[in-house]
Amino acid sequence: QVPFTVLQGEGVEYLGHANDAVIAISNYRLHIKFKDSVINVPLRMMESVECRDMFQLHIVCKDSKVIRYLCHFSTFKQCQEWLKRLTRAIARPAKPEDLFAFAYHAWCLGVCVDEEDQHAHLCRPGDHVRYRFEMELVRMGFDLQNIWRVSDINNNYKLCSSYPQKLLVPVWITDKELENVASFRSWKRIPVVVYRHVRNGAVIARCSQPEISWWGWRNADDEYLVTSIAKACALNPGVKVPGGVPHNGSSDGSEACDADFDSSLTACSGVENAGTPQKLLILDARSYTAAVANRAKGGGCECEEYYPNCEVVFMGMANIHSIRNSFQYLRAVCSQVPDPSNWLSALESTKWLQHLSVMLKAAVLVSSAVDREGRPVLVHCSDGWDRTPQIVALAKILLDPYYRTMEGFQVLVESDWLDFGHKFGDRCGHQEKVEDQNEQCPVFLQWLDAVHQLLKQFPCLFEFNEAFLVKLVQHTYSCLYGTFLGNSPCEREMHNIYKRTCSVWSLLRAGNKNFHNLLYMPGSEQVLHPVCHVRALHLWTAVYLPASSPHPLGQDEMDIYLPPGSQSQEFSGRCLDRLPKTRSMDDLLSACDSSSPLTRTSSDPNLNNHCQEVRGGLE
């Protein structure tokens, strides 16, 4: 008999016993039921599995968790059989439809007669996500009549497959010029505007590196487009306060900001009159050495001599290979048993917090340039789909309180990560027919960690809580939802993923009070100035050390991976107010019907022999 409640669309493929547990492998997860605990791990969450001490399995997960000594098999042969089964189960899919998100969505449509209504209510995100581009243009006050225009040059992704179909550029830039610029930028990822500061009109744009190569190529249209972005900001300056000077929106928390990196930004402090373009900041996420080295592969960086009224600053952020190595070291340190005596030095040697510090500094540099000095900023790295969204999205959170709401955060992830082609399939390791492990890297997880650092420093300025971020980490890898499948918007549209899978935002919606921050103070327009020093950063224990930290939703340790549909149907329209309750053992025994069968593992395994956990309690 299957030892767990089968998920919607879930089919059990293997069922067996070890000396101390019942084991089942379905098309979604590995389930192991011990006498007093349960382990549920989505298959796509697993990075590797191996045999240890001849009779035990050892699982390494993509979100840093390591499950040691999974269960004890009676023979070496039996252990090897289950090792082979698990290895086959976690192998990369042959086609997207092999991922569980498609089967889960098919079940969701089948439970209701009116499939369209069911899909709209349970699976799709809200209108704020579906119509995000148009709504954001209005919210940020772009003058689409005289200064800016929405180009359709990328309709059907004919210009760039990793860019959205609608691109925002200055009104006088023609599509012909955009085509010429695309031939000069890596992967045809041209400079386009993604954010506008309402009060002073300064914008944030993003792109990939220019293809200068050793020959020192130039492109007149590219130089014209970059300088035109600064000119457009001057012509569309934003809302001014009395006195004629644009309000900079700064808060009194500026003294907490790092002061040990300047990049000569003070050279053009103050906001000039609307007719004079501010000096545009080109922020290259790489080090100068790495940028120059890219010239050998046809890339490079902008030369200030060719881009008038521009300043180029290099941030020295590590590439995906260094971040992957750092994450692997962090996972190894966090999974050491027993706890290492040199914990602090071991943590320092991973350089994980150092990488977070550099990312935060880059975002603060962007937000300070935009907010305090009214300067437009152009951000890029090499390809523009890893470090670039990290900086841009983080800077937008610092600048705009809308992105600190649950609704705004969803728009942010969709716009800056999904629409602009972050390679979730490759980076998360669930892309079909790809065996190159060097493409795998927790770039999005690292960014969520940086958001977690901001939440720690400003606990009253975010509508969502830490549980929201933890759940997003889990479902980035679980493949229960289709939100993070594929490498680009073109690919997701080609496989019709939007209509054939459920959206993770249907779970992490604003109405779900499990993810609401009780300390949140709405209405604050404060621009965040975080402390970026390593000593001010914290290890995200809820993700990297879950056994030593309180569980966000009152879940017991072994059920942290259990998807929503297996228990209380978070997809349903029922009450979502499942806040943790605390009762004494005597109260629980008197409140529970001992004749009822158990439905899940309670937080205290000793109670399993006596009662069923109260519905709506610790879950």
Cβ neighbours, 10 Å, residue 538: 12
pLDDT tens-digit series, residues 41-83: 999 999 999 998 888 889 999 999 988 766 788 889 999 999 9
In whole angstroms, give the CA distance from residue 436 to residue 547.
32
Residue 298 scores a pLDDT above 70 = yes
Residue 423 in marked binding region = no
Residue 602 in marked binding region = no
Residue 589 scores a pLDDT above 70 = no
pLDDT-derived band at 305 (thresholds 50, 70, 90) equals: very high
Termini Cα distance of the chain: 24
Burial bucket for residue 287 (CB in 10 Å: 0-12, 13-18, 19+) = middle
Mean pLDDT in residue range 422-448: 91
pLDDT at 5 (0 to 100): 65
pLDDT at 259 (0 to 100): 40
Residue with tokens 């606990």: 459
pLDDT at 112 (0 to 100): 57
pLDDT-derived band at 616 (thresholds 50, 70, 90) equals: very low
Q: What are phi and psi of 510, to 5 degrees?
A: -65, -25
Residue 417 scores a pLDDT above 80 = yes
* Mean pLDDT of all residues belonging to the chain: 83
Residue 231 scores a pLDDT above 90 = yes
Residue 295 in marked binding region = yes
Of the candidates 72, 260, 236, 258, which has an alpha carbon nearest to the alpha carbon of residue 169? 236
Of the candidates 393, 449, 452, 448, which has an alpha carbon nearest to the alpha carbon of residue 420? 393
Residue with tokens 């992957």: 324
pLDDT tens-digit series, residues 458-503: 999 999 999 999 999 999 999 999 999 999 999 999 999 999 999 9
Residue 609 in marked binding region = no
Residue 236 in marked binding region = no
Mean pLDDT in residue range 206-218: 94
User: Are the C-beta atoms of residues 596 and 612 closer than 8 Å to each other?
Assistant: yes
User: Are the C-beta atoms of residues 58 and 70 closer than 8 Å to each other?
Assistant: yes
Mean pLDDT in residue range 412-425: 97
pLDDT at 221 (0 to 100): 97
Residue 387 in marked binding region = yes
Least confident span in 215-219, 236-240, 373-377, 514-518: 236-240
In whole angstroms, give the CA distance from residue 92 to residue 440.
12
pLDDT at 598 (0 to 100): 38
Mean pLDDT in residue range 200-207: 97
Token duo for residue 563: 């998807």
pLDDT at 551 (0 to 100): 41
Mean pLDDT in residue range 288-316: 96
Least confident span in 3-12, 251-260, 376-385: 251-260
Higher pLDDT, 510 or 365: 365
pLDDT at 559 (0 to 100): 36
Q: Edge to edge, what strands does the sheet with 203-206 contain?
A: 192-196, 203-206, 377-380, 280-284, 310-314
Q: What is the DSSP string of 171-202?
A: TT--HHHHHHHHTTBGGG---EEEEE-TTT--
pLDDT at 436 (0 to 100): 72
Domains and CATH numbers, the chain: 12-89 (2.30.29.30), 121-238+278-544 (3.90.190.10)
pLDDT at 597 (0 to 100): 42
Residue 52 in marked binding region = no
pLDDT at 107 (0 to 100): 80
List Cβ neighbours of 81 (8 Å cut-off, separation of 6 or more).
none
In whole angstroms, give the CA distance from residue 519 to residue 542.
19
pLDDT-derived band at 542 (thresholds 50, 70, 90) equals: very high
Residue 156 in marked binding region = no
C-alpha triplet 584, 586, 589: angle, nearest 5°: 110
Q: What are phi and psi of 418, to 5 degrees?
A: -80, -50
In whole angstroms, give the CA distance from residue 210 to residue 183.
9
Residue 559 in marked binding region = no
Residue 381 in marked binding region = yes
Residue 352 in marked binding region = no
Residue 378 scores a pLDDT above 50 = yes
pLDDT-derived band at 120 (thresholds 50, 70, 90) equals: low
Token duo for residue 171: 């009104």
Query: Active site residue: 79, 160, 207, 381, which one?
Result: 381
Query: H helices then E strands: how many in the chain?
Result: 20, 14
502 is catalytic: no
Residue 132 in marked binding region = no
In whole angstroms, give the CA distance from residue 456 to residue 446.
15
In whole angstroms, give the CA distance from residue 121 to residue 319.
40
pLDDT at 336 (0 to 100): 87
pLDDT at 67 (0 to 100): 85
pLDDT at 111 (0 to 100): 63
pLDDT-derived band at 590 (thresholds 50, 70, 90) equals: very low
**What percent of the chain lies above the pLDDT cut of 90?**
62
Mean pLDDT in residue range 190-201: 97
pLDDT at 427 (0 to 100): 96
Mean pLDDT in residue range 418-429: 96
What radius of gyration do the chain's Cα atoms show? 25
Please tell me the chain's helix, strand, coil percentages from 3-state DSSP, rounded to the nearest 5.
40, 10, 45
Mean pLDDT in residue range 124-153: 94
Residue with tokens 């935002």: 505
